[in-house]
Amino acid sequence: MKIRSVDIYILDIPTVRPHQLAMHTIVEQSIVVGRIINDEGLEGWSEVATIGGASYGEGTPEAIKANIDKYITPHLIGKDPIYYSNIMFEISKAVRGNYFAKAVVETAMIDLLAKSKNIPAYELLGGKIHDSLPLAWTLASGDTVKDIEEAKEFLRQKRHKIFKLKIGKGDPYKNVDHVIKIIAAVGDQARITVDVNQAWDETTANYCIEALQEGGVSMVEQPLPTWNVEGMARLTERFKVPIMADESANSVQEIYQITKHRFGNSIALKPCKHGGLIETKKVAAIAEGAGFGLYGGTMIESSLGTAVCASVYATIPEFEFGTELFGPMLFKDRITVKDIQFNNFEIVIPDGPGFGMEIDLEKVKHYSREYSYSLN
């Protein structure tokens, strides 16, 4: 079994409502979809998502595609995906960084290999521990009454009992008051966390985290810019509420430094920012060894990318803070024939061959920026 071709597509899919972060508000989400075909015509598919072009990180959709096409694909053609770990090791020596791009090709190879063996991808990653995982939702209307009503409705539906609030945009003190009112309304039934997306300076963080801790928030995600690792250490030492590293927690080397120096005391996993599924397993092991709590993060992937994340998260023992794999609920449409299943406050791990998702080729064509006849 040899790799015959690699195709990369950028898709833009609208969302059901605006999704506000400190650096960007998503109304149309860009995803990068990869397809690897072997010499027998079998296909492996993958997806990563980015947020706001270059506003979240350096890995823009355009750069991901360009770097795979130009610099990574030559290392794939003619190779047997059964040796995907060795292939990725060789790519790591030839291509620096580019974690999102590496995640695309590694994931597509894993999907292809698992399909060739007619097994779920998680069996290639050590086997699943979980059949389902707790699922968080982001309350994002900005209106306290509406957010409380939405939280209560989702609790009634048994859809979510972990709620995150993005509080990096606007007046920090008003945002804190907003969070505390929501905790007062539903905190006896749900866990409430906040994500600052690097938006605070250390002085603001000290005042706001103290109020959030007293108000009952259960976790504060990336309150400071990624460069301020010493500030993250000071906040971690000062407060009892967990301080989570996200944007600062990418490579295994970064995770090692975070755990060694306590630049936080919990980690948000995201396969794309770590460079693939094997690297995600390494990152999780380092965090576990350091006693750090884990959160199964999202870059707002569609159903395909969410299945990828769910498959690797299913093989990791503990998620103290649950997962955030709600992406398919935010998209107006999907590129898979069937959607991810959610049940009783949790996301259900797909069980089909590969990542358990059958691709809808017409939808890929419809949303692709660069329509390609190779999809026919």
Which of 56 and 110 is assigned the larger pLDDT? 110
Question: Average per-residue pLDDT in the chain?
Answer: 95
Could you tell me the residue ranges of all domains in the chain? 3-118+361-368, 125-348
C-alpha torsion 95→97→103→104, nearest 10: -60
**Average pLDDT of 32-53?**
93
* Confidence (pLDDT) at 371: 62
Lowest-confidence region among 39-53, 267-281, 295-309: 39-53
pLDDT tens, position by position, 186-244 = 999 999 999 999 999 999 999 999 999 999 999 999 999 999 999 999 999 999 999 99
At 57 the three-state DSSP class reads coil
Give Cα separations from 103 to 2, 48, 209, 375 (angstroms): 19, 7, 34, 22
Residue 334 predicted with pLDDT over 70: yes
Residue 375 predicted with pLDDT over 50: no
Q: Are 168 and 141 in contact (CB under 8 A)?
A: no
Residue 374 predicted with pLDDT over 60: no
End-to-end CA distance of the chain: 22
pLDDT tens, position by position, 123-149 = 999 999 999 999 999 998 889 999 999
Could you please state the CATH topology (level 3) that the domain comprising 3-118+361-368 is classified under: Enolase-like; domain 1 (3.30.390)
Burial 53-69 (b: 16+ CB within 10 A, else e): eeebbebbbebbbebbe
The pLDDT confidence band at residue 53, using thresholds 50, 70 and 90, is: low
Q: Express as a percent the part of the chain with pLDDT over 70.
A: 95
Greatest extent of the chain over all pairs of C-alpha atoms, in Å: 61
**Average pLDDT of 141-162?**
96
Q: What is the pTM of this model?
A: 0.94
Q: Which secondary-structure segment (H or E) carries 255? A: helix 252-261
Q: Are 34 and 104 in contact (CB under 8 A)?
A: yes
pLDDT tens, position by position, 230-265 = 999 999 999 999 999 999 999 999 999 999 999 999
* Confidence (pLDDT) at 373: 40
The pLDDT confidence band at residue 1, using thresholds 50, 70 and 90, is: confident
pLDDT tens, position by position, 96-120 = 999 999 999 999 999 999 999 999 9
The residues annotated as belonging to the active site are: 166
- What is the three-state SS of 90-159? HHHHHCCCCHHHHHHHHHHHHHHHHHHHCCEHHHHHCCCCCCEEEEEEEECCCCHHHHHHHHHHHHHCCC
Residue 18 predicted with pLDDT over 70: yes
pLDDT tens, position by position, 357-370 = 999 999 999 999 97
**Average pLDDT of 346-354?**
97
Residue 146 CA to its chain's centroid (Å):
26
Give one DSSP letter per residue of 149-203, joined into a string.
HHHHHHHHTTS-SEEEEE-SSS-HHHHHHHHHHHHHHHTTTSEEEEE-TT---HH
* Confidence (pLDDT) at 28: 87
The pLDDT confidence band at residue 69, using thresholds 50, 70 and 90, is: very high
C-alpha torsion 146→152→156→162, nearest 10: 110
Residue 37 predicted with pLDDT over 60: yes
Q: Express as a percent the part of the chain with pLDDT over 90.
A: 91
Give the homologous superfamily in CATH for domain 125-348: Enolase-like C-terminal domain (3.20.20.120)
Distance CA 110, CA 107 (A): 5
Give Cα separations from 128 to 62, 122, 307, 311, 367 (angstroms): 34, 6, 13, 8, 32
**Average pLDDT of 152-159?**
97
